[in-house]
A and B are shown apart, each in its own frame.
Chain A
Amino acid sequence: MFKFLAGRLAQMAILFVVFLSLVWLLLQAMPGDISDTLTANPAIPIEARAELRAQLGLDQPLFVQYFTYITNFFRGEMGASFSRYPQEVADILWTALPRTLVLFLSATLLAFWLGFKSGKMIAWGRGERSEQGLIVSGIFLQTVFYPWFAIVMLWFFGFALGWFPIGRFIDARLWQGSPYNANDVFGQMIVSVIVVTVLYVIGRFLIKRFSNNLLTQIRFGQGLAILAVGGLLLFWWLNPARDYVADIAHHTMLPVITLALVAFGAIMLLTRAAMLETLGEDYILTARAKGLPDWVIRDRHAARNAMLPVTTSLVLALAFVIGGGIVTETIFSWPGMGLIFLQAIAVSDLPLAIGALSITGVLALFGHLLADVLYAMLDPRIRIT
């Protein structure tokens, strides 16, 4: 298993360097260079331009520039942003990255959980009336024009119903004069969720160790989950920063739900197809012959195997989630990496734009790696040869 991981990591690293190089080539392909933008004023003498170029290292041979660029990236130096000068690109992205990650992960997990469950249920009860309706809604969600859909969601739930705030990350008035920094609070929220999740995983592991009965395992697992969520909520309820936390959470919900809804459609349809395929396998007939209860056959045999092709497709879905994330952030004015990226492009802030693009590449890469690892965990035929 570890050999497998190491191999994949090495592959990914190489792919990423190639990706970075392509990005750099793109940068070079653009007409003119940075010094042109900074010295656009014709009153600046030509010598100053030459000196500026030397300062920025633009008079070096291309190969050296390339090398510097790559090594800088891995050192975490991506230059200074033009539009938000003198903020460094790395700092800007460092603040924005967690937000985008929260958006992605929450939306993906929500979509997967709901989509897999419903796809599984639909495939199991094949041939009923409700199936057609759900399939059509699934297709609708998958093909709806996402920017338009997001706008409608925002208008309907934010403006018309007033259930959610109309975009943005926080309600600035609430935070005026507060002793807390929004980024810090957000960071704390993330940390708390991570801690609880880790504890939960450890708990599940221990349960498996100490009980051999499948049913007790499931019962305790469910109990543990409730305990985890309850504990988390209780912790924040008792925390003095409670209102601020609620504010951030409230602002996060609608973007996450919107992104999740669209991914949900795709996952549901995919799961249904995979389940139908799996249900035709011999071992399902054997499971029925063994007199196993319906839910065991559906969940532990069929769905478990259906997860494999769905995981593979998750990789392809990544591209959508990233693109969808950009649109979501734009429409909800949610200050994540996507929005920053778009704003940077709009004002030709190249370092920031390229930096954001590279980080996006890293994200995609890790997503691929995660999907591969997940697949290997799920399919023993890959792990054990």
Chain B
Amino acid sequence: MTTSLENLETRQIDPTKPLLEVDRLVMHYKIKAGEVSAIEDVSFTVHQGEAVGLVGESGCGKTSVALSLLRLLPSNAEYISGEIRFNGEDLLYLSPEEMRQHRWKDIAMVFQGAMNSWNPVYRVGDQIRETLDTHYRGAMSYDQQREHMERLFSSVGLTPEMLDRYPHEFSGGMRQRAVIAMALACSPELIIADEPTTALDVIVQDQILKELKRIQAELGMSIIYISHDIAVIAEVTDSLGVMYAGKLVEYGPTSTIFARPRHPYAYLLLRSTPSISGPRRELAPLEGEPPNLLSPPTGCRFHPRCPFATDKCVTDEPPLEEIGGGHRVACWHHEQVPELEEALHR
């Protein structure tokens, strides 16, 4: 399946320049019962050509962050403070029409359960063509569009005839590939992949991930991976952010975080899956449940489940602090975390 992407736009990337900057973002959902603190003070940067991962349990806010980048949250989501800067421009201050123009053309998304991203009554090709009609109005002729779509399809390993089929005629894996092709249609600078491999079997999972990685490298795109599956994240990302209960608790280069997780939650998360090839060690289970964000815990939101929790953790929220080499942690006791490792090894 080595197909060339050479005719799709490749761009020159400068890995030091930031593409997307999420700066102290705070977002609450307004519901009948009160306010849900869904995103609290989340900050991270995605550079050009970089692959960033966001992990966390269901409900930790990672999908909310992703949807915020495209301003796709429902009307009861209120942004209290913070900025989302894309190439310097704050997306939160754009009018709906201006935001609409950024969508797909600059930032595209591959949704969770991407199989259902397709409207069942239109052909797949027509649904991809829609994006071209909207964002390249008049610039591409019908035939040029067709050519472009055929190239997209072959780049994800699908035959051009499938463009004329309806979504229900595709298999699950094929639909996933088609969704990726559609995401690439307008050559975006950033793709957000929300749980791109859930509900796929492991073999297809592997293929899709490799595909994405290749495309990203060849086209010079940035990707944000959202997943609760750490194994997936580990393989394909350069940087990794761990989210818990709406807060970013740890952030840094993927290899660093995997080798030396310094937040208790991140540590327990990474150590909760057995490793086939690594050293044998005891599994460290994560007890309890994620907190209710309608009335979150005081201080550090993780303290009810944390083995290191002290009084300070209940009263004061730890800030996200740099501990070296781009590695940031939000914990009062991050230095003690290596002790856990030793305890388990014994």
List chain A positions with a Cβ less than 8 A from chain B.
212-214, 281-283, 285-293, 296, 301, 304-305, 378-381, 384
Contacts and interface: CB of A to CB of B under 8 A. Distances in A.
A97 to B, nearest CB: 35
Contact of B135 (A288, A291, A301): A291
A214 B133 contact: yes
SS class of chain A's interface: helix, strand, loop or mixed? helix
* 7 cross-chain pairs, A with B, having the tightest CB-CB distances, nearest first: A291-B103, A282-B116, A286-B117, A212-B142, A283-B119, A291-B104, A380-B166
Interface residues of B, number: 28
Contacts of A296: 130, 134
A259 to B, nearest CB: 30
14 contacts: A213-B142, A282-B111, A286-B111, A289-B70, A289-B72, A290-B104, A290-B182, A291-B103, A291-B134, A301-B119, A380-B121, A380-B166, A380-B168, A384-B166
B105 interface: yes
Contacts of A380: 120-121, 166, 168
Given A285-B111, A290-B130, A292-B130, 10 more contacts: A285-B72, A286-B117, A291-B100, A292-B100, A293-B134, A305-B120, A305-B121, A379-B121, A380-B168, A381-B120
Nearest to A215: B133
A212 B119 CA distance: 20
Nearest to B131: A290
Interface of B: 70, 72, 100-105, 108-109, 111, 113, 116-121, 130-131, 133-135, 142, 166, 168-169, 182
A294 to B, nearest CB: 8
A293 B113 CA distance: 24
B111 A290 contact: no
A281 B167 CA distance: 15
Contacts of B166: 380-381, 384
Contact of B119 (A287, A288, A289): A287
Contact of B103 (A214, A290, A301, A381): A290
A283 B117 contact: yes
Nearest to B168: A381
Nearest to B116: A282
Contacts of B118: 283, 286
Nearest to A304: B121
Contacts of A282: 111, 113, 116-117
A246 B182 CA distance: 55
Contact of A290 (B116, B120, B121, B134): B134
Contacts of B130: 290, 292, 296
Contacts of B134: 290-293, 296
A290 B72 CA distance: 11
B104 A289 contact: yes
Contacts of B103: 288-291
A380 B113 CA distance: 21
